[in-house]
Chain A
Amino acid sequence: AQKITQTQPGMFVQEKEAVTLDCTYDTSDQSYGLFWYKQPSSGEMIFLIYQGSYDEQNATEGRYSLNFQKARKSANLVISASQLGDSAMYFCAMREPYYNTDKLIFGTGTRLQVFP
């Protein structure tokens, strides 16, 4: 069963507009972490933002914020004031620590294209 679901294969947004990238997840654990990574065409994986399962407030990092709805098991990324350099693949990921294991698994990704 898919643990991380990103239903938007591609998204377009105009420069300076906000965009929301969707992510839903599935876990029975109480303790887990949710991450968003950006992967430009160069291939590097760039960490953007983190939300812990026990965090009560939504995470924010500059222009990035995470809309965390625990009951709905969603962790959507909001990018405010999009820039041309935001064009990239965006991956949602979940970390599930359990005894001597500590998996980090990724969703299928969303390709974001920002146009002038």
Chain B
Amino acid sequence: DAMVIQNPRYQVTQFGKPVTLSCSQTLNHNVMYWYQQKSSQAPKLLFHYYDKDFNNEADTPDNFQSRRPNTSFCFLDIRSPGLGDAAMYLCATSRDWGRPNTEAFFGQGTRLTVV
């Protein structure tokens, strides 16, 4: 059974039209990550939550926002998508540091196309 679920798997949006990507988890992990991965590149950390504490990477554009209304759900909002925002967006979750099995569990990703 999928433990980290991203919806939708594929998203097409118009240039400048706000779009929201969603991530849900059944693992009750308190750490959640959002990554942007462009073709043949490494996943780039956009932001992460440690419980409710939101941590933005310094180079994450203001165009990207996130919400985590509860432990299970996390959203990525792109306020005005540009052509350069076309990418795979990966959500991942992890347990508290120091507990066993501290690897991050990834969703299948949402592939965003901007037209």
A interface SS class: strand
Interface membership of A56, Cβ < 8 A: no
Binding site for B on A (CB under 8 A): 31, 33, 35, 43-45, 47, 50, 52, 91, 93, 95, 97, 100-109
A100 — which chain B residues lie within 8 A by C-beta? 50-51, 53, 55
Q: Are the C-beta atoms of A108 and B42 separated by less than 8 Å? A: yes
B interface SS class: strand
22 intermolecular pairs with C-beta atoms under 8 Å apart: A35-B103, A44-B106, A45-B43, A45-B90, A50-B102, A50-B103, A95-B94, A95-B102, A95-B104, A100-B51, A100-B53, A101-B50, A101-B55, A102-B94, A103-B45, A104-B92, A106-B35, A106-B44, A106-B45, A108-B41, A108-B42, A109-B41
Interface membership of B109, Cβ < 8 A: yes
